A = this chain, B = another copy of it.
Amino acid sequence: MPKHPDPARRSERSRQAILDAARELVSEVGYAKVSIEAIAARAGVGKQTIYRWWRSKGAVIFDAFLALSEADEGGMALPDTGDIEADLKTVMRATVAEFADPAFEGPIRALTTEIINDPGLAAQYRERLAAPVDEVKKARLRSAQQAGQLAADLDLGVALELLYAPLFQRWIYRSGPLTPDYADTLVDLFLKATRP
């Protein structure tokens, strides 16, 4: 056992504290009002520690959200049991639960607010956050296409919109319950629309 704390482990703890602080602050005061200073103070590190790893406020906040979605999607891999209906229901039930969870939905609501009004931030979001996650989801749909479970000519980008956008809209407008039944209904409609 080392006498002094492992520097790599301490470094990882600081990194986590910074990402947690960034997410909390965006949720509390909104993206526009978050500063590097405030993130550093909340995380208990110096500003220079943040600038050692990230170039800008935007960069650290995006990594904070990226870390959240990696954690929540189990290392970015979607289940593939060969049963597309069962796998999508597993994924959509988990996604609906996330959107119904105040700890998760607060930061996403704050980020969405900024994205609506800032085309530059929207482009960064698509490139750095949405696109990598969408690629993981498309990989699962592609495997179902190859298994003959989804139409071969299906546009996978539009397919993801069809599957996820109803949940997104219901969440934004708080226009209906976010339940496991709702997740299943969306998967059933999606599969009916996209079967060969």
Contacts and interface: CB of A to CB of B under 8 A. Distances in A.
Contacts of A189: 158, 162, 193-194
- Size range of the interface on A? 35 or more
A169 B165 contact: yes
A195 to B, nearest CB: 8
B113 A185 contact: no
Residue from A168, A176, A189 having most chain B Cβ neighbours under 10 A: A189
Main secondary structure of the interface of A (DSSP, over half): helix
Interface in A92-150: 109, 112-113, 115-117, 119, 122-123, 125-126, 130
A155 interface: yes
Given A117-B109, A168-B165, A193-B190, A158 B185 contact: yes
Residue from A119, A123, A165, A182 having most chain B Cβ neighbours under 10 A: A165
A170 interface: yes
Contact of A166 (B109, B125, B162): B162
Nearest to A126: B175
A53 interface: no
A41 interface: no
Contacts of A182: 158
Interface of A: 109, 112-113, 115-117, 119, 122-123, 125-126, 130, 155, 157-158, 161-162, 164-166, 168-170, 172-176, 182, 185-186, 189-190, 192-194
28 contacts: A109-B116, A109-B117, A112-B116, A113-B116, A115-B172, A116-B116, A116-B172, A119-B174, A122-B173, A122-B174, A122-B175, A123-B174, A125-B173, A130-B173, A130-B175, A157-B176, A158-B182, A158-B185, A158-B186, A161-B166, A161-B169, A161-B170, A162-B186, A164-B169, A165-B165, A165-B170, A169-B169, A192-B192
